[in-house]
Structure 1
Amino acid sequence: MWWLRAAQDGDGNAANALGALHAERGETQTAERWYRAAMDAGDVNGAYNLALLCAEQGRTSQAEQWYRRAAYAGHREAANALAVLLLQVGDTAGAEPWFSKAAEAGSVDAAFNLGILYAGRDMTAEALRWYERAAAAGHTEAALQVGIARLRAGDEQEAERHLRCAAGGGSAEAAYRLATVLDARRPPAPAHELGESAVHEKTECEEWYERAATQGHRRAQVRVGMLAAARGDVVEAARWYRTAAEAGSRNGAFNLGLLLAREGSEPEAVVWWTRAAEAGHGRAALRLALVHARRGELTEGQRWADRAAALGPREVAQRATRLRDALREELSA
């Protein structure tokens, strides 16, 4: 009621608030009317909110019109949104100055978007400058990009600092990369036989791997499985390998196959190796070739050996080639 009275008296903020209220209810026509009232009252947020409403409805040309109006009036997020819209329609040249204007005005998202834009042009130094600016303002993905860049440059200390910021902000990729940095520093743990219980104190790198894994990061899931297998925890290893494999990880499927084979479940192992090999995993294809050769299924063994030789890596390709040639001789004998 107070918003309505204030909006009717020409209060732009109240008109915007009413517009947002009606938009949330799905009453888009009424929302648009109040956003226009906000503009008439001199509130630039009215134009920006109207642009957002048009964009949500797929009215791209009208959204661009209102973004421009707000951006020319100095609305930095409108400038960023306009640049994103222009980028989506392929107008990179038109997008860049609006990203720059928004970023210089303090838009963190625009600074990050400029980083992406320059990275796409292989302008690494310029991209890093904008990523760093966005990261300093708390942008999680920008912090991740700075961390990656610092790792490539060999500056592990700065990389770790930025990766911690990004991981703390919820980035699974940052958590995984931070874990790999910490993992590389720790001394190798003593190996245990699968199924052998051992007292284990979780390290920080394992905690980060697990955080990434629980967020659905497949490489982290495989790594958590490997760490569990290394300490003899078959159940935990199988759980993480299976989770990764079911999400599409070739390495997860291959490792699950290895674990099952060691536990005496070769038929199920073959299922997972087949999935991995069909997705392009050379070692899995070689395992299948060996299994079929051992069973006397020479044609099938040769087929998988061919596949492994094509997929590699080099040592796998060499072994697969020797096996394929041997099977070929056996078949032609």
Structure 2
Amino acid sequence: MAEPRPSEADLDRAAQQWQAEAEDGVPPAMNALGALLAQRGDLDGALHWLDRAVAAEAPGAQFNLARVLCLRGELEQAEQAYRHGAERGDSRAMNALGDLLHEQGRPGEAEAAWRWAADCGSADAQYRLGYAAYLNGDLGGADRWWARAAEAGLPSAVNALGMLHEDRGERGQAITRYEAAAAAGSELAADNLRRLRAAKPPNL
């Protein structure tokens, strides 16, 4: 079960605490405050604190900075920030770099970035590699990557495995996968359960 989202009042209290700590020079607070400001749409404020967090080498700050730069349309700077984050061992940064490269029409570089992140345990990157393999007709590769992501608990990967079972005519296994993914919150899997009974093409 997903944890409840914090209320606005909770976020206001957290922001006040992080603001005080950030002004005292605490790097994790700078990072947390910057991320929260970005979430609330204050990109200038977010950039101010995340620049300071990066300078102070706060863990995860490069990733958050890159996200803000993407929102500002500064994609070259975002790419560099993601790369710097990955160099510091942040698999989220390398996975996001793969997404950015893919959106820019650089599939080979994107897959290399996802593979690095996947090897570091990123289920999201494993899913993306499975999807890329599927689109390229490599069903064995898709199965392997999606199985790894599913083992890590990613509902979209469980749904994708259900689709592969369905493609192979393995209706019972497909239903089992779709049920598991739907129970974990995948709306696509819930749709696929309904669609399977109506014999329509799967949704991925």
Please state how far the C-alpha of 1:31 moved relative to its aligned partner: 1.4
Contact 2:43 2:72 in 1 (8 A): no
SS in 2 for 1:44: coil
Match of 2:84 among 69, 77, 86: 69
Output the CA distance in 2 between the equivalents of 1:183 and 1:89: 37
> Which digits, 9 at most, give the CA deviation of each residue in 1:150-206, with x for residues without a partner?
12224334322211022224445433443465689xxxxxxxxxxxxxxxxxxxxxx
Is 1:82 the counterpart of 2:93 in the alignment? no
Indicate the residue corresponding to 2:10 in structure 1. Answer: none
The correspondence for 2:161, drawn from 125, 142, 146, is 146
Which residue number in structure 2 is paired with residue 95 of structure 1? Answer: 110
Correspondence list, 1:217-228, <5 A: none
Distance change >3 Å, CA 7–CA 180, structure 1 → 2: closer
TM-score for both structures, normalised by structure 1: 0.51
Aligned pairs for 1:217-296 (under 5 A) are none
- Give a deviation string over 1:75-134, Cα, whole Å, max 9, x none: 111101100111111111111121011112121211111111111211110111111222
Alpha-carbon distance, 1:136 to partner: 2.4
Residue 60 of structure 2 aligns to which amino acid in structure 1? N
Tell whether the 8 Å contact from 1:163 to 1:174 is kept in structure 2 after alignment: yes
Deviates more, 1:39-48 or 1:121-130: 39-48
Query: How many residues are aligned here?
Result: 185
Q: Counterpart amino acid of 2:107?
A: T
1:4 Cα deviation (Å)?
A: 3.2
What code does the residue aligned with 2:22 have? A
Instruction: Say if 2:166 is the partner of 1:158.
Output: no
| Shift in alpha-carbon separation, 1:56–1:183, aligned structure 2, 3 A | closer
Q: 1:115 aligns with which of 130, 153, 159?
A: 130
Partner of 1:331: none
- Contact residue 38 and residue 45 of structure 1 kept, 8 A: no
Verify the 8 A CA contact 2:63 2:82 in the aligned structure 1: yes
Shift of 1:42: 1.4
Q: Secondary structure at the match of 2:137?
A: coil
Indicate yes or no: 2:57 matched with 1:42: yes
Q: Equivalent residue for 2:11?
A: none
The change in CA–CA distance for 1:176 and 1:29 in structure 2 (over 3 A counts) is: closer
| Correspondence for 2:38 among 12, 16, 23 | 23
> What is the CA–CA distance in structure 2 between the aligned matches of 1:33 and 1:5, rounded to whole Å?
15
Query: Residue 57 of structure 1: CA displacement?
Result: 1.6
Q: Aligned partners of 2:164, 2:75: CA distance in 1, in Å?
A: 35
Give 3-state SS (helix, strand or coil) of 2:60's partner: helix
Partner of 1:301: none
Deviations along 1:17-41, whole A, 9 cap, x unmatched? 2212332443322211111111122
1:130 paired with 2:148, answer no
The one-letter amino acid of 1:27's match is D
**TM-score (ref. length: structure 2):** 0.80
Shift of 1:10: 3.2
Asked if 1 retains the 8 angstrom alpha-carbon contact of 2:18 and 2:32, the reply is yes
Rounded to whole Å, the distance in 2 between the matches of 1:61 and 1:101 is: 20
5+ residue gaps, structure 1, are 185-218, 220-333
Q: Which amino acid aligns with 1:82?
A: L
Query: What SS does structure 1 have at the residue aligned with 2:177?
Result: helix
Partner Cα distance (2:147, 2:154) in 1: 9
**Superposed CA RMSD:** 2.2
Q: Distance in 1 between matches of 2:41 and 2:156?
A: 32
CA separation in 2, counterparts of 1:56 and 1:82? 14
| 1:59 aligned residue (74, 81, 98) | 74
